[in-house]
Structure 1
Amino acid sequence: MSVDIHPTAIVAKGAELHDGVSIGPFCIVGEKASLGPGTRLLSHVVIEGRTELGANNTVHPFAVLGGPPQHTAYKGEDTRLVVGDNNVIREHATMNLGTVNGGGVTKVGSNGLYMIESHVGHDCVVGDSVILIKQATLGGHCLLGDFVIVGGLAAVHQFTRVGRHAMIGGLAAVVKDVIPYGSVWGNHAHLEGLNLVGLKRRGFSREAINTLRAAYRMLFANEGTFQERLEDTAQTYANSPEVMEIIDFIRSDSNRPLCLPDREV
C-alpha cells in the first residue's frame, strides 16, 4: 500500500489509511479515523473521533474534522462524522461528530467546497456539491440539499432545512426553512426570489426556469390563503418536477417555519 506520512505527523495505531493517502507535516490522525484513497492532509490537520473521509479529499492546514459536538448533552459517546469524496476543505474549517439524540452521525456529501473557517455542526446532513463560503456556519441538525451555496459569514439556525439549489446571501441569519431553488438574504433572512443565476449555471432549461418563476409568483402572491395557493400551485404545475420538489418540501414535516418574502411578489 502506497501511503505517504511526513515524519512530523502523528498517526495513531488503528487508523485506517487507504492507498494514495498523503499526510503532511504536523498532522494528527486519531485511532478511529479512516482516510479514503487519494485523500491528502496538507499540514497541521487534526482528524479526531470516528471520522470517515472518502476518496480524493483535500484538507488544508488547521482544519479539525471529527471534533466533539458543541452540545452540553454530549458525554463522549462513540458517534461519527462521515464525509464523501472529492471535497476541498480549507483552512480552519471544522466539522463535528454527531450526537446520540441526533442519530449519532454527521454526514457531508461529495464534491463540496468548505472555505476558510466554515463550520458544519453536529448531526447535520449536507448534500453534494455544496459550497460554504468563508465563515459560513451550520448549527446542529441542519439539512442542506445538493448544490446549496451559503454566503460568507451567514449562519443557518439549528434544525433548519435548505432545499436543493438554494442560495443564501452573505451575512444572512437563516432561522426558517428555505425552499429548493430559493434565494434568501438579510438579517433575519427573507426570501428574495429564485436562485436564477445558479439555475442557469447548472443547465436548467429556459422552459423549466420560466415554469419555476410562474409557480413562484402564484405560490407567494397576495391573494387567498397560503394553503389555498399551495394547492392551486400543486394542481397547476403537477407535471413540473422542479415545482413539485418545492411543494413536497413545504408539505413535509419540519422543526422550523418557512422563509417567506417580506413583500408582495
Structure 2
Amino acid sequence: MIHEQAIVDPSAVIADDVTIGPWSLIGPNVEIGQGTIIEPHVVIRGPTTIGANNHIYQFSSVGEATPDLKYRDEPTRLTIGDNNVIRENVTIHRGTVQDRSETIIGNNNLLMAYVHIGHDSVIGNNTILVNNAALAGHVHVGDWAILSGYTLVHQFCKIGAHAFSGMGTGIGKDVPAYVTVSGSPAEAKTINIEGLRRRGFSADAINQLRRAFKIVYRQSLTLDIALQRLESMLAETPEVQVLIDSIRASERGIVR
C-alpha cells in the first residue's frame, strides 16, 4: 500500500495498512498509525507521531521545522492524534524548546485547505479550521471551536471550547469559551448558539450562557465584578464554569 515512487526513510515506523501515494516523502523519526492515508506529494518530517485513521491530502507539509529565528535544530516534536482530516496544502510545524517542544493536534479535527498551524500550538478535539485560517506559534484551540476562513490568530492566544470566529477575523486576544467573534480586530458578538444547539446543549444551558455573555459584555462591568456575578450562577448551570475558567486562564486579556 506504499507506492513504489514514494520515498520512505527505512527508520520510519509505518503500520501495515497505511496508504502512501506516489512522490510523498516520509522522513526519519516518523511514526504513522494504522488506517492512515497519505495522498501523493505530501512531506512528513520528524520527529512526528501520527495516530490512526488520519487522511492527509496532497501538497501538505507536516512536521517541518519552524521558521522561528530562535530555533536551532533542536529535536522537537509534532504529535497528531486519530481520525483527523488534513486537506490540501496544510502546513504544520514542530515545536520549540522555548515552549513545550511539541506541537499537538488532537482527534477528529478538520483542517481545510491552506490552514497553517504554527510551532508549539495545541489543537483540541473536534475542531474545524476553515480554508486559510492561520495560527501563529503557541496558540491553543479548545475542543469544538470553529475558525472560519482567513481567521488570523496572534501568538500565545487561547481560543476557548465551542468558540466561533467569522470569516477574516483578526484575533489578538483570548476568546472565551462559547463566544462568537468577528472583525479585525476581533469583537465579541454573542454566544455560539447554533453550534451549542447542534451539539445537544439544553435550552436552559444556552439561555444561562446568554445571560452570562450579557453580564461580561453588555453591562459595562469590570471583568472582576462580572466574574463575581457569574460565579453566583454556577449552582444553576455548570456550563458557566467552563466560561469562567476560560476567562480566568487568559494571560493576554480577552476579546471584549
Quickly name the TM-score band, shorter chain normalised: over 0.9
Structure 1 counterpart of 2:134: 137
Q: State the shift of 1:146 in Å.
A: 0.3
**Mind listing any 5+ residue stretches in structure 2 that lack a counterpart?**
none
Report the TM-score, using the length of structure 2 for normalisation.
0.97
Establish whether residue 119 from structure 1 lines up as the match of residue 113 from structure 2.
no
Q: State the shift of 1:253 in Å.
A: 4.8
Structure 1 counterpart of 2:253: 257
Q: Measure, in 1, the Cα distance between the counterparts of 2:3 and 2:226.
A: 61
Comparing 32-41 with 219-228, greater Cα deviation is found at 219-228
Residues 49-99 of structure 1: CA distance to partner in whole angstroms, max 9, x if unpaired? 211110000000000100111200001110000001001100100110000
**Mind listing any 5+ residue stretches in structure 1 that lack a counterpart?**
261-265
Q: State the shift of 1:46 in Å.
A: 0.4
Aligned amino acid, residue 258 of structure 1: I
Structure 2 counterpart of 1:227: 224
Structure 2 counterpart of 1:88: 85
Report the TM-score, using the length of structure 1 for normalisation.
0.94
Residues 226 and 21 (structure 1 numbering): CA distance in 2 closer, same or farther, change over 3 Å? same
1:93-104 matched pairs, under 5 angstroms: 93-104=90-101
Q: Measure, in 2, the Cα distance between the counterparts of 1:220 and 1:230.
A: 11
Q: State the shift of 1:211 in Å.
A: 1.0
Q: 2:5 aligns with which of 8, 15, 19?
A: 8
Q: Measure, in 1, the Cα distance between the counterparts of 2:61 and 2:162.
A: 27
* Alignment root-mean-square deviation, CA: 1.1
Q: State the shift of 1:223 in Å.
A: 4.5
Q: Give the 3-state SS of the residue equivalent to 1:218 in structure 2.
A: helix
Q: Measure, in 1, the Cα distance between the counterparts of 2:157 and 2:235.
A: 26
Comparing 107-116 with 226-235, greater Cα deviation is found at 226-235
Structure 2 counterpart of 1:263: none
Structure 2 counterpart of 1:108: 105
Comparing 137-146 with 225-234, greater Cα deviation is found at 225-234
Q: Give the 3-state SS of the residue equivalent to 1:25 in structure 2.
A: coil
Q: Measure, in 2, the Cα distance between the counterparts of 1:81 and 1:238.
A: 40
1:138-153 matched pairs, under 5 angstroms: 138-153=135-150
Comparing 132-141 with 232-241, greater Cα deviation is found at 232-241
Q: State the shift of 1:18 in Å.
A: 1.0
Question: Contact 2:174 / 2:250 at 8 angstroms: preserved in 1?
Answer: no
1:19-168 matched pairs, under 5 angstroms: 19-168=16-165
Residues 223 and 101 (structure 1 numbering): CA distance in 2 closer, same or farther, change over 3 Å? closer
Q: Measure, in 1, the Cα distance between the counterparts of 2:97 and 2:221.
A: 43
Q: State the shift of 1:214 in Å.
A: 1.3
Question: Contact 1:220 / 1:226 at 8 angstroms: preserved in 2?
Answer: no
Structure 1 counterpart of 2:211: 214
Q: Measure, in 1, the Cα distance between the counterparts of 2:64 and 2:222.
A: 45
Q: Measure, in 2, the Cα distance between the counterparts of 1:225 and 1:105.
A: 36
Question: Contact 1:238 / 1:244 at 8 angstroms: preserved in 2?
Answer: no
Q: Measure, in 1, the Cα distance between the counterparts of 2:66 and 2:141.
A: 18
